[in-house]
Amino acid sequence: MPKRKHILVCRSGAKLMMSEDGSLAYMGGDAYAIGVNENTRFDELKSEMADMWKFDPGSIALKYLLPNTSNNLVTIASDKDIRNMLEFYEDSTTVDVYVFTNSNNGPKRAVQTCQILGE
């Protein structure tokens, strides 16, 4: 059986905000695309995302929302985490992935979001 491929649409330069209903909202930015599947390696994905926006790969963290939730971010830190995310969203056409970077002046802050679109 062929591996299901997804397109990761990454948006940069936007703001992560809490909407009135308590869900996370992400506004604005530019977009890039990356092809991913369950064979995608975490280190390669993280490095490619860091290269897009000229960040140090060691300074970024990837997170996504669990299906049917509006504010529970789950960390992506391994190849298994990528496979789990794709499995959780197997029947969905989209999932947002948020990229955070360390700030010298405080806690991690959101700098871009990615959206997975199933083929």
The pTM of this model reads 0.75
User: Has residue 83 been placed in a domain?
Assistant: yes
Number of domains in the chain: 1
Q: Look up the domain containing 102 and give its range.
A: 6-118
* Banded model confidence at residue 108, pLDDT cuts 50, 70, 90: very low
Residue 44 lies in a domain: yes
Sign of the four-CA dihedral 94, 49, 10, 68: positive
| pLDDT tens for each residue of 12-51 | 666 777 778 877 776 777 777 787 888 999 999 999 988 8
**Mean per-residue pLDDT of the chain:** 76
Residue 1 resides in a domain: no
Domain membership flag for residue 75? yes
In sign, the C-alpha dihedral spanning 10, 68, 44, 56 is positive
Amino acid at 29: G
Backbone angles phi, psi at 14, to 5 degrees: -110, 180
- Measured distance CA(63)–CA(53) in Å, rounded: 17
- Answer whether residue 117 shows pLDDT above 60: no
Beta strands in the chain (DSSP E): 6-12, 15-18, 24-27, 30-36, 60-65, 73-76, 94-103, 106-118
CATH of the domain at 76: 3.10.20.90
